[in-house]
Amino acid sequence: MAQSSLDVLLKGSSGKSTRGLLRIIILLTIAAAAVASRLFSVIRFESIIHEFDPWFNFRATKYLVQNGFYSFWDWFDDRTWHPLGRVTGGTLYPGLMVTSGVIYHILRLLTIPVDIRNVCVLLAPGFSGLTALAMYLLTREMSHSPSAGLLAAAFMGITPGYISRSVAGSYDNEAIAIFLLVFTFFLWIKAVKNGSIMWGALTALFYGYMVSAWGGYVFITNLIPLHVFVLLCMGRYSSRLYISYTTWYALGTLGSMQIPFVGFLPIRNSDHMSALGVFGLIQLVAFAEFVRAYLPGKQFQKLLTSMVLLTFGLGFTGLILLSVSGVIAPWSGRFYSLWDTGYAKIHIPIIASVSEHQPTAWPAFFFDLNFLIWLFPAGVFMCFQNLKDEHVFVIIYAVLSSYFAGVMVRLMLTLTPIVCVAAALALSTIFDSFLVMTKPTPESKEKANADKSKAFSSTKKPVVGIYSYFSKAIVTGSLTIYLLMFVAHCTWVTSNAYSSPSVVLASRLPDGSQHIIDDYREAYYWLRQNTEDNAKIMSWWDYGYQIGGMADRPTLVDNNTWNNTHIATVGKAMSSREEVSYPILRQHDVDYVLVVFGGLLGYSGDDLNKFLWMVRIAEGIWPDEIKERDFFTARGEYRVDEEATPTMKNSLMYKMSYYNYNSLFPAGQAVDRVRGVKLPAESPTLNTLEEAFTSENWIIRIFKVKDLDNFGRDHSNAVSFDKGLKRKRATKKKGPRVLRTE
């Protein structure tokens, strides 16, 4: 400020526009940084869709682009869940696909030749840039400090907690949902502040978009009513609140019901009842307020309050009764598992088998949020100091999402935005106090006191100023270091933890050059090119979407997991003896069975390591036939070597994994590099399946299901005949020989 030459630019009305311009430039730079930091995988590998679920979204988007919106809406997919099929159009959140479809068509209209794959790959980074902007808007509503919004935008742009779900190629619902979440909250705050129908309607509009995009919309459905409820309880009812809430609820609920997958859930499902309840409550409160305006009196108010509580209680019991009687759908399993982390493991193993549904490990908070995690409580505390309606929202959001993030790893994603807001509030306060050259003057003291007098008396305190340059330098210096470390940490985490497509694996050769292990696509492409168009592929459900997307072949089960019994059937086929499995395979028209085997390469995410989940899920349906205990040795170990239990050794999964594996090694020296054990000297024999394809590093093994034997023998006899073995006597009868009469 000492430079007078800059005064023209920084003061007065031109100063205002200078700052505005500067802010726009900063925001655009933040958005660019947010996009750029998500491109590691594109640069390192290629523009490719990552992991599992994105492959389905990509396939659905291609279908949408090729066949148009209406046939997408009515899409019945007979290439998954064979032989059941899936009513895909009615069981997905179409927001993501429609968004990229619209972008694609706009670009095509401008005759820019863009591939739909590239639109899909780059959608998440693009929207993360928008999220940073939305974050700026949201935080600006919380604080007067101009730096808070910018800091929050910067944090949101690069924090790993959000990057984990939005790197290029991670084409999942969360890619656009987090932007919608933040923006809906911004609109809501705006609506509450202004009491404007326009903002309320906009909130509802974006809420509807959010509903179409992600199942996590329930978070908004519950958070906004909770905010209103808390405000009501704090005695902060206002016509602003009434207008914004009723507008949002009426329009938003109608909007959300337009999505076939959601349908009538908003009025029938327990998850949505709090919004309805608060809607009723706010009518009562509004009525009471209206009456009170005409009939003041303490007695009346007490009566009214008790009336309100009574009605609420009645409504609540009615709700419980309706739930019990079944009119309102009971809480879903995923909901219960939010409150009891052990629930899923016992009752619904299929939910527990997904790694992202596990409770969060504590270091994950630091890993994903770095220094924001300890600024977070400070920011929440500052909201208490300045407790306006919007700050109540921040506090509620912070408390709820902290809990959820602790329960389930993937919900770290909903925690991240509020952490960024709170941390930015805290940090901007620190910077606003420490990063000024001028010392506090008595004048400003008075002014500050005047400001404070409006706030709560409990938060009133003498004004504090920083006089020493030394302490200013120390604090700002250390915070700058923290910020720099934050950037370094984010870059490191993004680069190392979140940028692997997981379809393609990278390793380093001894000379330091990158070697790409591309077994998945090798095998999928083989299936795509060299099997019949409707050959049914059976694999564990993890690979269902990838097979559908890359191999373009029908699958039995996929990551949609809507039918637990069907998955358990596959689990049973994998974990039973061949004699049991073969009829199951035949009944389901299976042509090929695909297993993932990491033993040669030391790739730990293979099917044998997931095997126990298959057993558990199958056991849930057939407790008499499949028993988890049988797969453990007497000492309770899960082993695959010589000591493995007979059930284990005879299971189809074990046989397929190790079939013919020992011939790669000198006799008796076959080693499984994942489990680090020496394998039995003899290869398992397969009678009903034959090896059809094995990828270069053995990660994917595909087996063809044999047809029935031409001579009507059973397969084990046929195989031993082909090998030239003597036919086994069917049964050794101990009694005397008798003439067969029949």
Minimum Å gap between C-beta 349 and another protein is 32
Minimum gap (Å) between residue 739 Cβ and another protein: 43
Helix axes of 607-621 and 564-575: crossing angle, nearest 10 degrees: 120
Q: Toward another protein, which CB reaches closer, 523 or 573?
A: 523
- Which spans of this chain sit near another protein (rule: CB under 8 A)? 45-48, 108-113, 504, 516, 518, 521-522, 524-526, 528-530, 550, 660, 663-664, 690-696, 698, 704
CB of 505 to another protein, least distance (A): 11
Which strands form 700-705's sheet, in the order they lie side by side? 536-538, 590-596, 700-705, 689-694
CB of 529 vs another protein, minimal distance in Å: 4
Nearer to another protein, 386 or 660 (CB): 660
Residue 521 Cβ vs another protein, minimum distance, rounded to whole Å:
5
Which residue matches tokens 């709170």?
422
Note whether 417 and 425 are within 8 A (CB): no
Asked if 408 and 338 touch (Cβ cutoff 8 Å), the reply is yes
What angle, 0 to 180 degrees and rounded to 10, lies between the N-to-C axes of helices 197-213 and 217-233?
A: 140
Of 103 and 430, the one with the shorter C-beta distance to another protein is 103
How far apart are CB 136 and another protein at their closest, in Å? 23
- Neighbouring CB atoms inside 10 A of 469's CB total 10
Q: For residue 54, give the amino acid letter.
A: P
Residue closer to another protein, measured from CB, 334 or 704: 704
Q: In angstroms, rounded to a whole number, what is the distance separating the alpha carbons of residues 312 and 675?
A: 58
User: What is the residue type of 350?
Assistant: I
Structure tokens at 628: 């988890």
Helices (H) and strands (E) in the chain, counts: 32, 8
Minimum CB separation of residue 692 from another protein in Å reads 5
Please state, in angstroms and rounded to a whole number, the distance separating the CA atoms of residues 396 and 404. 12
Tell me which residue of 172, 173, 178 sits closest to 50, measured CA to CA.
172
Nearest to another protein of 55, 209 (CB atom): 55
Q: How far is the CB of 46 from another protein (least distance, A)?
A: 4
Element (H, E) at 572: helix 564-575
Cis preceding linkage at 83, omega within 30: yes
| Min dist. Cβ of residue 79 to another protein (A) | 16
Q: Which of residues 422 and 505 has its CB atom nearest to another protein in the complex?
A: 505
* Nearest by Cα to 220 from 170, 184, 259, 196: 184
CB nearer to another protein: pick between 222 and 683: 683
Which CB, 356 or 690, lies closer to another protein? 690
Minimum CB distance to another protein smaller for 597 or for 632: 597
Burial class (CB in 10 A: 0-12, 13-18, 19+), 657: buried
